[in-house]
Amino acid sequence: MDEAAAGIETRKSAQGVYVPVRWTRKKRALAIVAGVVVAFLSLGCAAALYVHTIDLALTAGMDDDERRELVGVLTRPKPELEAPTRVVVEEPDPEPVVPQTNAYYVVILGCDARPHETIARSDVTMLARIDPDTGTVHLISIPRDTMVEIDGYGVQKINAALAFGGPAGAVKAISEFAGVPITHYLEVRFEQLVELVDRLGGVTVNVPEGFTADTSGITLAAGEQRLTGEEALAFARERHAVSSGDFSRAAAQRAIISAIADKVLASPPTEMPSLVGSLAAYVTTDYTVAELADTALALKDAGVTVYSAACPSYSFGEGGISYVGVMYDEWRAMMQRVDAGLDPADESAEIPEPQVSDEDLGAAANARSPRDYSGRVDQAGFKDN
């Protein structure tokens, strides 16, 4: 059953339903975009004005109240370390070595509103962990139909958090579900995906299975290939003609985001100035250009490694509504690996003690799906990429 049946599109928060403005994003793609800004710094006042204009464009998708509420729930990053260091407690009471890191978490939402639709639906819900020291980026999908409790609205699907509470509401729900503090927020609108991908000259992805899109009629064969904007949009949207429904679509969305990021990172410096303006028009975020520049330069220096995975979950129905339930033990273990900077899909990886002892990691405190899911394994979605 769709969100309307669940009450998502008909209920409003005290401030009214959250309605997004123009946006589109690709997390690392954005980051590198900022690398251009460094080149402009030598232009003095004109560059400063240019950067300020882009900063305003990046936040243009939120009104003042939404911006203040978002800032109130985001966790500001710790003062940056000069380099990865280790803190060791000396004898006689030795403690495990605790690595210090500049890594932080970002909420990435994608809204797929069609023409004449005005209510924001976060059809793409991702949690990203970015470690500028090691160049490691984790992209973790959280199924949009995941059953959670939202303050003031009871049991809902997690993508209702954006409609009810705007960006701040979405951040709170995802932070509680993953058990991690959120430092930044990004939104992307799929309707601009076509022009962005075409602007980049297409993107290369590996399509896991061939299909004909039920909405656009576009046919894609399985295998690695370059997609146009329209093809990329069809790939990112399709859930009816693929074997695992929303689970397959989530994997496709992560693949598109990674492919866009790779293409932007490979763009020649001469194209960067116009690319910066284009990306600023597509995205809504609390990031500033300076923060994006720092992230971009750090990732480029370290060399980027991207891990892609999804919250271990399964589909089920309750009260005539279809939900996605979380596999609690598997989700907790995955978030421990993510927080430690490990491959989230490597179940044999040894998890460091700090993550093992962190009771919040992957606790899914706001999840309301059955705690006993042993009999639902056959309905499980994928646990990796």
pLDDT tens for 115-153 read 445 445 567 899 999 999 999 999 999 999 999 999 999
More confident residue, 367 or 76: 367
Residue 214 inside a domain? The answer is no
CATH number at residue 173: 3.30.420.590
Note whether residue 124 is domain-resident: yes
Whole-angstrom distance, CA of residue 194 vs CA of residue 198: 6
- Taking a C-beta distance cutoff of 8 angstroms, is the pair 51, 290 a contact? yes
H or E stretch covering 154: strand 154-157
**pLDDT value of position 290:** 74
pLDDT value at residue 116 = 47
Burial 90-128 (b: 16+ CB within 10 A, else e): eeeeeeeeeeebbbbbbbbbbbbbeeeeebbbbbbbbbb
Residue range of the domain that includes 372: 3-78+98-198+282-378
| Structural domain total, the chain | 1
The answer to whether position 221 is within a domain reads no
In a domain, 169, yes or no: yes
Q: How far apart are the first and last CA of the chain?
A: 26
pLDDT in tens, 173-210: 999 999 999 999 998 876 777 888 888 889 999 999 99
pLDDT of residue 282: 73
Strand, helix or coil at 375? helix
Q: Would you say residue 251 lies in a domain?
A: no
Looking at the domain assignment, is residue 179 inside a domain?
yes
Q: Would you say residue 224 lies in a domain?
A: no
For the stretch 46-62, what's the b/e string if a residue is b when 16 or more beta carbons lie within 10 angstroms of its beta carbon?
Answer: eeeebbeebbebbbebb
Amino acid in position 310: A
Residue 131: C-alpha distances to residues 29, 212, 301, 316 (Å): 15, 38, 12, 35
Give 3-state DSSP helix, strand, coil % of the chain, rounded to 5.
40, 20, 40
Whether 227 has a pLDDT exceeding 90, the answer reads yes
Question: Is the model more confident about 26 or about 312?
Answer: 312
- Binned at pLDDT 50, 70 and 90, residue 277 comes out as low
Do the domain assignments include residue 87? no
Q: What pTM did the predictor assign?
A: 0.78
